[in-house]
Structure 1
Amino acid sequence: MPDHGKTTDMALVFLLKKRDHAAFTEIYNRYWKALFIHAFKILKDENEAADVIQDLFTAIWNQSEEWHIEYSLKAYLYTGVRNRCLKAIAKGSRREAFVDELTSAFEEGVNTTDLTLHSQEFERRLKQELQKLPPRMQQVYIKSREQGLSHRQIADEMGIAENSVKTTMHRTLNSLRTKLAPFLTLVLFFMK
């Protein structure tokens, strides 16, 4: 069995397309832990996270001959984990967690393959709902989510208390969850 420990990701992808089990094992060993942590952060459940990783790697092996990765194996794997986590949440009763994760996916610009057709509509609706918010809520949201500022930094910039920033952000996210809930049904329909 060849040792692929120093083989590049794209070379491993090439070998895996030829059903090289050692290449598959190397990809698994290289990424499973980080992918599990990523899944656990989303799902907050070790068993569900482990199931997602198992499902992803089973699909990779079963579809390896048709595998098409144009850019980054790492990005492909993380997107696969996120998509499977979204589906797991959508099938469960945690719609709020689903909306949070879906919102996060689009804010980060992640290409969620299963939702590509609906991402532009979701983004449009998110922006539309943001514009309906009071100016202070918009400012706090933009500074937090788009500019990546901490609550303390936002408070300093806006000349308000840090607790006020936290409260405003909490109210903003709750408002967005409520407003985007009808769109959630549409997304869930296309994810089945």
Structure 2
Amino acid sequence: MKSSETDITFLNRLNARNHEAFQLLFREYFQDIAYYAGKILKDMDVAEDIAQDIFVRLWEKNNHFENYLALKSYLYLSARNSCLNYIKHHNIVLEHAQTQKTKETEENTWNTIVETEIISLLSDYIRQLPAECAKIMELVMQGYNSTEISTLTGASSSTVRSQKQRGIALLKKIVSPELYALFILFMQQTH
């Protein structure tokens, strides 16, 4: 030990799970182990957590150290292994997060493509509607609400609502049931 107590006396007390011996070991080596772990991890907060866990495990296990070198080796090897496990786990977490981000990006891209294709198909059908109805339905497809459409077109709110209902009814008659269902879903998302 760094103190004046002899190694053998101290180890006997530590092996006997003497609380004071453990406290002495903790006081004298916690900072050293935390510093060592910090050099590996480059994060002192995590390094201190790891050092604390090492001492907790040491207290909970029934270890028996033959000599002082075995004790120090245990502390430093435990710190090294815990750091490597932390890095391995951290890398797995980062890899998983990156994979999720990639999946979400691919899913968003796919959803945008599908949405664009549906809007394109619906726009073709909307152009077949009577002129005033088509104009209002195009604005509906762009995400405008009835009040905004009324302001943009100069039509009354009741005219906008009736033309919107007319457009929906006409689309139901001329598009496939599947495309109509997608149209209704799109309408619900934009409003």
- TM-score range with shorter-chain normalisation? 0.3 to 0.5
What is the TM-score when the length of structure 2 is the normalising length?
0.43
Give the TM-score normalised by the residue count of structure 1: 0.42
Larger Rg computed on CA atoms: 2
